[in-house]
A = this chain, B = another copy of it.
Amino acid sequence: MSSSIGRILTLTTFGESHGQALGGVVDGFPSGIEIDEDFIASEMARRRPGSTSLGTMRNEDDTPEILSGIFNGLSTGTPIGFVIWNKTQRSADYSEIAHKYRPGHADYTYDAKYGIRDYRGGGRSSGRETCCRVFAGALAKLFLRKYGISVNAGVIEAGGIKAEGYEWNPPFPGPLYAPQNKNLDAMINAIKEAKMETDSVGGIIECRVSGMIPGLGDPVFDKLDATLSHAVMSIGAVKGIEFGSGFAASRKRGSENNDPIRAEDGKPVFLSNNAGGILGGISNGDELVFRVALKPTASIAKEQLTVTDNMENTTIEVHGRHDPAIIPRAVPVVEAMTALTLADHLLFLRAYER
């Protein structure tokens, strides 16, 4: 069940990085939704290795093969099974990572937990599994679209350089998937520099949802911010998340942080959005806003101290075509997990509509 997420709209995934295929099942998807394959392809393209000049040149085919649940171009309400083939498996030399634990990776913890590990390319813990998330997220977006709900994310900090003076007019173009801003070149250069030094950088992604409707989120344990945190924090490289004013809220007075309310056209309007669009775990109709911290890519070619699976001290250099920054390619993944979570809450809300 840990390979499933969602309550009534669920995604279940399988697959190792260098196994035969990845894939999964989207269950609880409403019937009668037109499956826009071009849109799905465009979402997949944003996540694909090689999609951005800042990332790996690795060219993986990520085209999902839909095996069920669609008939005459419409969803039928039955589970949507899909497979993404690992077509370009190279008969790589795994001798380096087969018995050494890569720092910052899950090699040791998988061995500790399962006693066995598919070490080829990181196995199950590889970021490649996020292709399944993006596919399912694209479906969720097609459903949310019917309600006018639009999920967009962008890079607002890279390698320690913050985007400054930006406007939020998504979707944001590559290679960084960041809003236009004074520091955009510096942000890009921070990544390029790290790459040249065989090192890597992290960054921050902001996600905003427009067209929100009030009532999404279920107290007290499935608050909207709680389930979003669960969904987004399950992305490999994510190390932190904050909603609205977030960590800065902890430094504000209540009189500053509470969003004043005014009535407009018979609806409440919030004069600020420190809440990030959520009050008491339920959406208030305002824009949903949160930010996510991603660590630098763990795979670097620099020499690092580590141990073997026999617990002998050694060193390792992780060569290969790795992204110097995972942030650009994580943008569609953050969107996908957000869309899935919102669609699940929306279906719940429908069940209880008065």
Contact = CB atoms under 8 A, between A and B. Distances in A.
A227 B221 CA distance: 11
A76 B350 contact: no
A219 interface: yes
A297 interface: yes
A1 B7 contact: yes
B31 A78 contact: no
Contact of A263 (B103, B129, B313): B313
A204 B247 contact: yes
Contacts of A30: 352, 354
A108 B268 contact: yes
How many subunits of this chain does the assembly comprise? 4
Nearest to A284: B109
A60 interface: no
A152 interface: no
B351 A76 contact: no
Contacts of A188: none
A8 B345 CA distance: 12
11 contacts: A31-B352, A71-B117, A77-B352, A101-B261, A202-B257, A221-B231, A240-B246, A240-B250, A250-B293, A254-B298, A347-B352
Interface stretch (A41-49, A164-172, A300-308): A300-308
A67 interface: yes
Contacts of A3: 25, 27, 78-79, 219-221
A173 interface: no
A28 interface: yes
Contacts of A202: 249-252, 257
B222 A293 contact: no
A15 interface: yes
B354 A347 contact: no
A25 B14 contact: yes
Closest 7 CB pairs of A and B: A106-B280, A14-B81, A240-B242, A2-B218, A200-B254, A109-B282, A230-B230
Given A67-B83, A240-B241, A311-B266, A223 B229 contact: no
